């Protein structure tokens, strides 16, 4: 069991919404984590021969990812306790990681790009994606907990 935390979760959601707004209004870009992170591994030379780190998108994409990675450290510095409980072993974690990575890039988005930004844009495509990954996620947890583990 985990505790029902409507207020903390709503506050976290508002922060995620604010982050989306910062990226949209300042940089004109969608805050989709899988897209931003995976594009860091693209070629770093632009079509005109200039560096993508300086003239292209890569600079802010990297600083965005660095910000995400640093956030929990700053919160812990401020006395915030972060709980992380994994239910599977490393093999299952490796399989899940590969599926999440492949699926989110192949399906052009994850919980942030389709779930938050896509639904905020009223995109039918993102709605279809969100319904799909939510239903499959629910089905997999159902099988794990109530069929296999039942």
Partner 1 sequence: MQRIIAGFLAGLTFGAGLVVAGMSNPLKVQNFLDVFGNWDPSLAFVMGGAILVAFPFFRLARFLPRPFVADDFRIPTFQQIDKRLIFGSATFGAGWGLIGLCPGPALVSVSLLSPQAIVFVLCMTAGMLVARLVAGLSMRRALKEA
Count of residues of this chain found to bind partner 1 when the rule CB under 8 A is applied? 111
**Considering only residues 35-54, where is the footprint of partner 1 by CB under 8 A?**
37-38, 41-42
Q: Does 23 help bind partner 1 (rule: CB under 8 A)?
A: yes
**Would you count residue 55 as binding partner 1 (CB under 8 A)?**
no
Closer residue to partner 1 in complex, CB, 25/47 = 25
Query: Does residue 98 touch partner 1 according to CB under 8 A?
Result: yes
Spatial contact of 63 and 146, defined as CB atoms under 8 Å apart:
no
- Contact between 108 and partner 1 per CB under 8 A: yes
List 43, 45, 85, 148, residue binding partner 1 (CB under 8 A): 85
**Nearest CB to partner 1, comparing residues 50 and 73:** 73
Q: Give whichever of 46 and 111 is closer to partner 1, judged by the CB atom.
A: 111
Nearer to partner 1, 30 or 49 (CB): 30
The 3 state secondary structure assigned to the chain is: CCCCCHHHHHHHHHHHHHHHHHHHHHHCCCCCHHHHHHHCCCCCECCCCCECCCCCCHHHHHHHHHHHHHHHHHHHHCCCCCCCCCCCCHHHHHHHHHHHHHHHHHCCCCHHHHHHHHHHCCCHHHHHHHHHHHHHHHHHHHHHHHHHCC
Q: What are phi and psi of 51, to 5 degrees?
A: -75, 130
In the complex, minimum distance from the CB of residue 102 to partner 1, in angstroms, rounded to a whole number: 4
Contact 56, 46 (CB under 8 A): yes
By CB under 8 A, tell whether 77 contacts partner 1.
Answer: no
Cβ proximity to partner 1: between 27 and 45 the closer is: 27
């Amino acid at each position: 069991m985990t505790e029902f935390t409507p207020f903390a979760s709503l506050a976290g959601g508002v922060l995620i919404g604010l982050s989306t707004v910062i990226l949209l209004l300042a940089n004109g870009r969608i805050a989709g984590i899988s897209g931003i992170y995976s594009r860091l591994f693209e070629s770093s030379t632009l079509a005109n021969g200039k560096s993508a780190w300086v003239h292209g998108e890569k600079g802010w994409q990297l600083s965005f990812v660095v910000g995400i990675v640093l956030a929990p450290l700053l919160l812990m510095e401020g006395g915030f306790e972060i709980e992380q409980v994994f239910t599977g072993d490393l093999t299952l974690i490796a399989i899940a990681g590969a599926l999440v990575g492949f699926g989110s890039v192949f399906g052009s988005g994850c919980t942030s790009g389709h779930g938050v930004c896509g639904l905020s844009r009223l995109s039918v495509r993102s709605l279809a994606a969100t319904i799909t990954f939510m239903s499959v996620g629910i089905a997999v947890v159902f099988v794990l907990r109530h069929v296999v583990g039942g």
